[in-house]
Structure 1
Amino acid sequence: MKKLTRPSLFILACLVWAGCSTTKSLKPGQFLYTGAEININPDSSAKIDNQKQVKEDLESKTRPRPNKSFLGIKYKLAIYNLAGEPTKPKGFKNWLRRKGEPPVLMSDVKLKYNNDVLKSYLISEGYLQSVVTGDTVIKGKKGKAIYTANTGARYKINKITFPKDTGNMTRIINANKGKTLLKVGDYYDLDTYKNERIRIDNDLKENGYFYFSPDYLIMQVDSTIGKELVNVTVKVKDIAPDAGLKPYSIKEINIFPNYSLRRDSTLRRMKPLEYNDFNIYDDKKTFKPRLFDRLVFFQKGELYNRKDHNQSLNRMVNIGAFQDVRAEFLPLDSFKNNELNLNIYLTPLKKNSLTFSVTGTSKSNNFVGSEVKITQTTRNLFRGAEQLDVSLSGGFESQIKGTSQGKNSYSFTAEGKLTFPRFIVPFYKPNSTNAFIPKTIASLSYQLLSRGSEYNLSAFKAEFGYNFKENLHKEHTFNPISINFVKPGFPNDSTEKSLYAANPLLRTTLERQFIIGSNYNFTYTNQMEDNRRNNSYFNGSIETGGNVWGLFVPKDEKGQRSIFNVPLTQFVRVEADLRDYYKITKNLIWANRLNLGYGYGYGNSSSLPFVRQFFAGGSNDIRAFPARTLGPGTYKVPTTATFADQGGDIKMMLNTELRFKLVSILYGALFADAGNIWLRKEDKGDPATGNLGRPGSGFKFKNALNEMAVGTGAGLRVDATIFVIRLDVAFPIRKPYLPEGQRWVIDQVSFGDKGWRKDNLIYNIGIGYPF
């Protein structure tokens, strides 16, 4: 009992000391400010709409903010006090004091200022008769501010009046008033009025009013009509300048594709190349003129409009050929007429660049290693903003523990990728007019993987396809041609036979494969919208192999359709990955993922080829099981297996994770993962080759939930925004390979048992979040 009591008393003493230390250094007459308390209509039993949120908003607007705290402990103030007054200009005490936070005092509280701020906020929300009074309460050496808000009734909109149609500008405003954000019956809301001014300004910008501003509009509100109603009148201010009240058209479009400040005067003096509506100032002919047909949406003589302005800028930035993009609109004759000259200044990126990277890897299957990669990038290859990336990489991995401890593998990869900033489609010229640059991508790669004296794999891949963004949220990738050729190699026939005898599953893994097909990928995300309470992400893909070629390729003497004596792989594979991120609070996020996959092999193939199969287990998957060792179904990889990778045709996975901030850039997580993989048809093996099959590997819908693995754990993340380093520790609480009725093992969890920890705890190190 004493062993438990003493640590508890010590912790309690530390907490008491931390609480007391926040006031011990205060001087006589000083009181520590602990925060603000908001009371809304305390004399009324009726609550206002969304009272809890309004209360939180009011509290957040009070100043000053109290000292930061964690679990009720003002840790930064305690650190500040612990450091004390430094006696030297430098040293540990100075460093410690800077890490702390000086006390926030009651004398810093300005009640009248806060009263005015809170009243202004309530008025902006429609409580036009609100009154706020503030007072202070001091107890001991601490104090707080109490603000009482009597809101009165919340006003609603009774009528909206737009300007009379007296000219072109008022005609445009009235023509678009059906899109107004002001609705009869809605509450008075200052933010809505501001957004309505922005909406009208945007309508005018689309019709040539380049110099108009939302500040030139005024919303006159009449609250004297009674019954807590207001009339709103939209007007153009009388003091609006003449330049903002007339539309402007484009006179000249001057493009400087190879611009620099050093050459500014030289470029302006030279004779431009006249191409369509553009005057191109480029004596070095850096880019083909037709490139600008896809980048600049303005035409001579047309009215200025914001849509063309934004799309032009976005395209010039997103094409990836320029390090600086600037568009300048200059009025002719100092606003005396209604014409603008458009000057576009473009500074290209360097034509060639070389990048070098070294990465280290640590995997859940006990492999560690490193890779060196060098990439040569050539931009504007054919003077149309094309980009060629050629990369070479080499790496090694070694298994540091397990049944194959000491086993090494080496890899070499060469890849070339050519990107065209446009669609290249035979006999057709698609016209994309949104803000994002469509891309045509052709790639070719070769990879050699060597497992020392056992075997090696040579993989060739060629792809041709398209990538384009429909809008900010939706992205499509379509590769009509995708060719993969995988060829195994062995030192000699005896090595091959001994490998297959030791592990018959290697026969399907290391077989020659020829995949010719197509693939399509669709991504939707709104994660870039930080103001949303709930964000989502979806990725869906479909891939086919051998479908079209299978119609034309004749069968060989074995009844298989083959190309170059290699059986043509035929399959259809679909996968969906849905994620949801719900912000419970600013620093508490509940993340969930559902991942489903299905593959159907036909013709030459009874299942998906190994390189296209689904896998379970690992740092981004079901973290309580080593990578690629879970499943299929209720099958368990023997501990003596030299090759543990297990693939399947079907995958179901659910992940849930609670993410919370600890301190600074350190975050924590609690998670649970569930799922498994299955073969579409059970692997019954082939006794002639020594393959005993994989009992329980087949998928049956009625048994799927009963064959799910479940794991849970906790993790730490260092989130520095530009990179995330993750450490997770997980353990299984349901093992699908155990007999029915014995699969839940949560009652066997024993962190104090060394043997249990060795057999069950899985450590995962990763870069980035798991999903």
Structure 2
Amino acid sequence: MKKLTRSGLIIFTCLIWGACSTTKSLKPGQFLYTGAEIKINPDSKMKIDGQKEVKDGLESSTRPRPNKSLLGIKFKLGLYNLAGEPKKPKGGLRNWLRKIGEPPVLLSEVKIPYNRAVLKSYMLTQGYLQAEVTGDTVIKGKKGKAVYNVYTGNRYKIKSVAFPPDSVGVAAVINQTKDKTLLQVGNNYDLETFKNERIRIDNDLKERGYFYFSPDYLILQVDSTAGQNQVDIRLKVKDIAPDAGLKPYTINNINIYPNYSLRRDSALRKSTPEVYKDFNIYDTRKTFKPGLFDRLVFFKKDEFYNRRDHNQSLNRMVNIGAFQAVKAEFLPLDSFKNNQLDLNIYLTPLKKNSLSFSVTGTSKSNNFVGSEVKLTQTTRNLFRGAEQLDVSVSGGFETQVSGVAKGLNSYSFTAESKLSFPRFITPFRGVNSTNNFIPKTLASLSYQILSRGSSYNLNSIKTEFGYNWKESQYKEHTFNPVSINYVTSKITASSKDTLFAENPGLQKNLEKQFIIGSNYNFTYSDQMNESQRNNIYFNGSLETGGNVWGMFASRNNEGKKSIFGIPINQFVRVEADLRDYFKINKNITWASRLNLGYGYAYGNSTSLPFVRQFFAGGTNDIRAFAARSLGPGTYYYKNFLDPGQTSSYTDQSGDIKAMLNTELRFKLFSIVYGALFIDAGNVWLRKEDEGTPAIGDTPAIEGRPGSGFEFKDALKELAVGTGAGLRLDATIFVIRLDVAFPVRKPFLPEGNRWVLNEVDFGSSTWRKENLIYNIGIGYPF
């Protein structure tokens, strides 16, 4: 079987390699263009500063671009060649392959003189004012490339910088801020820096009321005759700059139209406004309370215009989530004859009620559900202050196919209501945010059923009150000083004894849980910066239960602190989730995640509440192992050590978690993406579970040997799995199929945990016991 499998693999590889031949469809006299080769100062050993970056910039400036490749193989070109000439003008496999493929880029398409001019211009912008470029083509077999020799000469530096000498008007303002200049004596000549300097000056002037000023009104005169490869720079305001751009403006009237539409334009303008502080509010229908605009509009009457207030006002009006259209119009009085502006703000509200449907994937370590569909009813502007009420119902599932624990792992149903206020509601006055983002006060109430198939159900009622605010576009905070969660369970297994025998930890975990405490969550993400090659996501959380509230609790007959007669859980839980997304190129991303968690139970509690514990294994976790089947530590429940029996009671949890995932994601064609991944991790108990003896009618609880955490042994107890996946990424949703298998099993005896030598895809028994198919919605991280 192994020999047959290897032979088939060799034949399949040869077929693919033959289909991907890059030159098979070329006609006589045609040569495949393989790209540009840049040689910098080829006749000299001298290297320029940042030579690799300059070389990359030059190479990316050449046209055309060669055919795309993945890991050195031009798959798209191979598919195009595999299709051959279609027999039909439309439809059929050949046309489809040509559509997702890519025709060959020919050497004849390369325009050497054009590229030489482009490369020389690029070098001039970098300060190589005496650069020269030559170019030619080189042919080898049926392939050809373009070779460009770049002779840089010396790079010019800045010798002196002179600003406008005037002491009045716009020139005086430019002089006042010249200490912030980007043009520093001794720095390299760089055209991009010159552009940024004009933008910097424009920004400074906009902050001081120069509304109509433009960077185009500035000119940087460069004199390269200073000698010794240096330049003198003189900055001045163009003589043709209009008068309107050379004087500062103040704000006159601030007119706000909160319920604006083109149909009602005339009627609104003729209506009598409500005067509130510095605002004239034209809202005949009383749609919004006037006080709302005090938190949205930062301009004040008779103050100078500044761009900061402009941007903050627009951002707040957009981010508050109450308006579908926002427009700010600045109109000069008397056709620029004076220096005042009227500000008109036109706001078109969103519909008061809306219904939305969403499909999401989840990836939190303590969440039972991997994917979720959600229906949400939204009511906006509930109390005329841009409040928002969301009432939703959702259902979720997490499933893994094949392996020894195949089948439905869990599903959930959730009903939730959430009310948000666009401000801080606190006992203290003056607590507010003055940045671009609207702070929110949140109150929520939810009910959830979590089902583990035929094993048990958890019923959870949760309410929270807290705050959400963004420190910047990258940093977000959520703080809930009040969080109450009551959880009850129902055993659905035919035999409790069987369930607890196979999973000793469940008996304690399925007791009633009353969590009353606080939590804080911090998120940092720069993923919106798509131009960056490397993006970071970090989420850190801290939760406490029963600490402050425990001071007000009384003790019950068992000596446990209780509220309303129900013992409270007492614990501290921290978790950190760090993700890195590195773009190798626009079609290949290397994504990695490090997830660490630690929980400490005290007082009433000997372990974390079940719904706050950590799990390992599953569709968004360590995909080569069944959901929540790993650990704690080297412990593994009995049935899975007996190949003749299976069990679905896989809920192994811990107080400590360590997980590392790395995944290479690449585009195959259209919306189809592929992935190769490795996952590693495990969970542990803070102290080994030694079980408890039988007391009276209470049966004994079996211990879990090897479940305790020892730092020195942690690396030796990690599970490792690997696999590949396909994703349909339609932007608005992602459907994912991952196939994984274990290469390290921590529950095996030490020295036998690596099982790479047992991998045998040709064996149906091995596939049945080890291959796991994960179906999910969204990326795993």
Q: Deviations over 1:56-78 (max 9, x none)?
A: 32222222334445677766566
Given that residues 503 and 652 in structure 2 are in contact (C-alpha distance below 8 angstroms), is that contact kept between their aligned partners in structure 1?
Answer: no
Distance of 1:125 and 1:752 partners within structure 2: 58
SS of 1:219's partner is strand
Aligned amino acid, residue 521 of structure 1: N
Given that residues 404 and 770 in structure 2 are in contact (C-alpha distance below 8 angstroms), is that contact kept between their aligned partners in structure 1?
Answer: no
Match of 1:511 in 2: 511
Instruction: Return closer, same or farther for 1:429/1:762 CA change in 2, 3 Å cut-off.
Output: same
Given that residues 298 and 312 in structure 2 are in contact (C-alpha distance below 8 angstroms), is that contact kept between their aligned partners in structure 1?
Answer: yes
Please, which moves more after superposition, 65-74 or 343-352?
A: 65-74
SS of 2:170's partner is helix
Match of 1:676 in 2: 682
Aligned amino acid, residue 222 of structure 1: D
Q: Deviations over 1:317-344 (max 9, x none)?
A: 1000011111111111222211111111
Please, which moves more after superposition, 561-570 or 252-261?
A: 561-570
Aligned amino acid, residue 287 of structure 1: F
Correspondence for 2:717 among 707, 713, 730: 707
Match of 2:627 in 1: 627
What is the deviation of 1:632? Answer: 0.7
Q: Deviations over 1:357-393 (max 9, x none)?
A: 688999999x999976432211000000000011234
Instruction: Return closer, same or farther for 1:216/1:555 CA change in 2, 3 Å cut-off.
Output: same
Aligned amino acid, residue 128 of structure 2: Y
Distance of 2:85 and 2:453 partners within structure 1: 64
Structure-to-structure mapping, 1:692-703, within 5 angstroms: 692-703=702-713
1:659 matched to 2:668: no
Structure-to-structure mapping, 1:468-483, within 5 angstroms: 468-483=469-484
Match of 2:120 in 1: 119
SS of 2:186's partner is coil
Aligned amino acid, residue 746 of structure 1: L
Distance of 2:623 and 2:212 partners within structure 1: 57
Correspondence for 1:757 among 730, 747, 767: 767
Distance of 2:647 and 2:4 partners within structure 1: 50
Match of 1:348 in 2: 349
Given that residues 534 and 580 in structure 2 are in contact (C-alpha distance below 8 angstroms), is that contact kept between their aligned partners in structure 1?
Answer: yes
Match of 1:41 in 2: 41
- Number of aligned residue pairs: 767
What is the deviation of 1:526? Answer: 1.8
What is the deviation of 1:412? Answer: 4.2
What is the deviation of 1:89? Answer: 5.6
1:222 matched to 2:220: no
Please, which moves more after superposition, 475-484 or 411-420?
A: 411-420
Please, which moves more after superposition, 619-628 or 207-216?
A: 619-628
Given that residues 368 and 399 in structure 1 are in contact (C-alpha distance below 8 angstroms), is that contact kept between their aligned partners in structure 2?
Answer: no
Aligned amino acid, residue 661 of structure 2: N
Distance of 2:78 and 2:99 partners within structure 1: 12
Q: Deviations over 1:79-102 (max 9, x none)?
A: 667767778764547666555555
Distance of 1:448 and 1:483 partners within structure 2: 16
Instruction: Return closer, same or farther for 1:435/1:589 CA change in 2, 3 Å cut-off.
Output: same
Seq. identity, %: 71
Aligned amino acid, residue 677 of structure 1: V
Aligned amino acid, residue 540 of structure 2: G
Given that residues 718 and 724 in structure 1 are in contact (C-alpha distance below 8 angstroms), is that contact kept between their aligned partners in structure 2?
Answer: yes
Please, which moves more after superposition, 255-264 or 51-60?
A: 51-60
Distance of 1:515 and 1:692 partners within structure 2: 26
Please, which moves more after superposition, 88-97 or 564-573?
A: 88-97
Match of 2:212 in 1: 211
SS of 2:768's partner is helix
1:239 matched to 2:230: no
Distance of 1:569 and 1:140 partners within structure 2: 75
1:720 matched to 2:730: yes
Aligned amino acid, residue 643 of structure 1: Y
Aligned amino acid, residue 649 of structure 2: F
Given that residues 448 and 457 in structure 1 are in contact (C-alpha distance below 8 angstroms), is that contact kept between their aligned partners in structure 2?
Answer: yes
Given that residues 505 and 652 in structure 2 are in contact (C-alpha distance below 8 angstroms), is that contact kept between their aligned partners in structure 1?
Answer: no
Instruction: Return closer, same or farther for 1:259/1:404 CA change in 2, 3 Å cut-off.
Output: same
Please, which moves more after superposition, 137-146 or 240-249?
A: 137-146
TM-score (norm 2): 0.90
Aligned amino acid, residue 55 of structure 2: K
Distance of 2:680 and 2:778 partners within structure 1: 20
SS of 1:486's partner is strand
Q: Deviations over 1:581-601 (max 9, x none)?
A: 333444443333222111111
Distance of 1:650 and 1:348 partners within structure 2: 48
SS of 2:311's partner is helix
Distance of 1:25 and 1:675 partners within structure 2: 54
1:649 matched to 2:660: no
Instruction: Return closer, same or farther for 1:113/1:303 CA change in 2, 3 Å cut-off.
Output: same
Match of 2:603 in 1: 603
Match of 2:780 in 1: 770
TM-score (norm 1): 0.91
Aligned amino acid, residue 732 of structure 2: I
Distance of 1:238 and 1:13 partners within structure 2: 70
Q: Deviations over 1:430-460 (max 9, x none)?
A: 1210000000000011224567887543311
Instruction: Return closer, same or farther for 1:16/1:337 CA change in 2, 3 Å cut-off.
Output: same
Given that residues 553 and 562 in structure 1 are in contact (C-alpha distance below 8 angstroms), is that contact kept between their aligned partners in structure 2?
Answer: yes
Match of 1:256 in 2: 257
Please, which moves more after superposition, 315-324 or 332-341?
A: 332-341
Aligned amino acid, residue 704 of structure 2: R
Aligned amino acid, residue 472 of structure 1: Q
Match of 2:642 in 1: none
Please, which moves more after superposition, 746-755 or 476-485?
A: 746-755
Distance of 1:732 and 1:5 partners within structure 2: 25
Given that residues 223 and 233 in structure 2 are in contact (C-alpha distance below 8 angstroms), is that contact kept between their aligned partners in structure 1?
Answer: yes
Instruction: Return closer, same or farther for 1:364/1:329 CA change in 2, 3 Å cut-off.
Output: closer
Structure-to-structure mapping, 1:164-179, within 5 angstroms: 164-179=165-180
SS of 1:334's partner is helix
Given that residues 423 and 432 in structure 2 are in contact (C-alpha distance below 8 angstroms), is that contact kept between their aligned partners in structure 1?
Answer: no
CA-based RMSD of the aligned residues comes to: 3.4
Match of 1:464 in 2: 465
Please, which moves more after superposition, 686-695 or 410-419?
A: 410-419
What is the deviation of 1:651? Answer: 1.2
1:281 matched to 2:291: no
Please, which moves more after superposition, 678-687 or 627-636?
A: 678-687
Instruction: Return closer, same or farther for 1:238/1:451 CA change in 2, 3 Å cut-off.
Output: closer
Match of 2:643 in 1: none
Aligned amino acid, residue 488 of structure 1: S
Instruction: Return closer, same or farther for 1:358/1:478 CA change in 2, 3 Å cut-off.
Output: closer
Aligned amino acid, residue 672 of structure 2: L
Instruction: Return closer, same or farther for 1:294/1:145 CA change in 2, 3 Å cut-off.
Output: same
Structure 2 unaligned segments of length 5 or more: list them: 640-645
Aligned amino acid, residue 519 of structure 1: N
Given that residues 624 and 732 in structure 1 are in contact (C-alpha distance below 8 angstroms), is that contact kept between their aligned partners in structure 2?
Answer: yes
Aligned amino acid, residue 215 of structure 2: P
Aligned amino acid, residue 627 of structure 2: A
Please, which moves more after superposition, 1-10 or 449-458?
A: 1-10
Given that residues 599 and 608 in structure 1 are in contact (C-alpha distance below 8 angstroms), is that contact kept between their aligned partners in structure 2?
Answer: yes
SS of 1:687's partner is coil
Distance of 1:744 and 1:357 partners within structure 2: 41
Q: Deviations over 1:660-681 (max 9, x none)?
A: 3444443333322222111112
Structure-to-structure mapping, 1:278-427, within 5 angstroms: 278-356=279-357, 373-393=374-394, 412-427=413-428
What is the deviation of 1:201? Answer: 0.6
Instruction: Return closer, same or farther for 1:527/1:6 CA change in 2, 3 Å cut-off.
Output: closer
Given that residues 22 and 77 in structure 1 are in contact (C-alpha distance below 8 angstroms), is that contact kept between their aligned partners in structure 2?
Answer: no
Given that residues 365 and 616 in structure 2 are in contact (C-alpha distance below 8 angstroms), is that contact kept between their aligned partners in structure 1?
Answer: no
Please, which moves more after superposition, 712-721 or 79-88?
A: 79-88
Please, which moves more after superposition, 679-688 or 129-138?
A: 129-138
SS of 1:113's partner is helix
SS of 2:384's partner is coil
Distance of 2:232 and 2:103 partners within structure 1: 49
Please, which moves more after superposition, 537-546 or 728-737?
A: 728-737
What is the deviation of 1:761? Answer: 2.1
SS of 2:653's partner is coil
